[in-house]
Structure 1
Amino acid sequence: MRDIQQVLERWGAWVADNKEDACWPGVAAGLSSLIPSKVKTRVQCCDEDGITISNVMAGLRAKHPAAYDLLFDYYVFGKTFMQLAREHHCSDGHIGKKLQNAEGVVDGYLMALGIKLEIDKYIMR
């Protein structure tokens, strides 16, 4: 079974370090200066996996924009539960549940589409 949190952590690091803004021209263009340097030093996925997960995330953005925003803020920008809770006007426990739900949706997309990732061999539970 795939550890979706590890997949998203590596994807988030890949997006944060994507200097060319290849996959996020409308989203990341001009935002690279907002990403803290500590976020850019994490372990990343390969480009092929990054593009694949970005495509899944684009589908999530179209269907569930709130879940997409939460995942993007947490995994790309590296915001804490407390920061997210303050922004969403709820408790950090509620943010944890929302994140878990959003992670489940992404994992479900990957499973339903039968997508195999290169990083799966490193992060299987």
Structure 2
Amino acid sequence: MRDMYEVMDMWGAWAAAECSGVDWQPIAAGFKGLIPHGKKSRIQCDDDEGIMIDGCVARLRKQKPEEYELVIAHFVVGISLRTIAKKQKCSDGTVRKDLQTALGFIEGMLAILS
């Protein structure tokens, strides 16, 4: 079983480096003006895995748009969960639960594709 947080972090680096075939917004909606925590030299996934995860994230966008925004803001843009929680005026725990929901959805999609 893979560590989905690590997988998504590598995918986020890959997507941020403009390897993604999907046109991700440079800043997720509602998070303009927030400064990313600045992971410039991150390890990226390979193109095959990146494309597969892109498909799963695109499906997440259709099914759970709020969780999609969270995934993009955190993994691609690099905004910390604490900053996202402050922006949404909710607790860190709520944001972490939403992120877990998104990661579970993506992991399930990857399991189906494998």
User: Normalising by structure 1, what TM-score?
Assistant: 0.76
In structure 2, C-alpha distance between the alignment counterparts of 1:63 and 1:106, rounded to whole Å: 11
Indicate the larger mover: 83-92 or 34-43.
34-43
Aligned length in residues: 108
Cα offset, 1:38, TM superposition:
3.1
Deviation at 1:91, TM superposition (A): 0.6
User: Normalising to structure 2: TM-score of the pair?
Assistant: 0.83
Contact 1:73 1:79 in 2 (8 A): yes
Counterpart Cα distance in 1 of 2:37 and 2:103: 24
Question: Unmatched 5+ residue regions in structure 1?
Answer: 116-125
Hey, what does 1:52 align to over in structure 2?
52
RMSD between aligned residues? 2.2
Provide the residue aligned with 1:13 in structure 2.
13
Q: Read off the aligned partner of 2:21 and give its amino acid letter.
A: C
Say yes or no: does 1:90 pair with 2:90: yes
Map of 1:33-72 to 2, 5 A cutoff?
Answer: 38-72=38-72
Partner residue of 1:23?
21
Structure 1 stretches of at least 4 aligned residues deviating more than 4 Å after TM superposition: 34-37
Structure 2 contact 60–106 (Cα < 8 Å) conserved: yes
Return the offset for 1:24.
2.8
SS in 1 for 2:40: helix
Larger radius of gyration: 1
The equivalent residue for 1:3 is 3
Unpaired segments ≥5 residues, structure 2:
28-32
Q: 1:121 maps to which residue?
A: none
1:71 CA displacement: 0.8
1:106 and 1:114 mapped to 2: Cα distance? 11
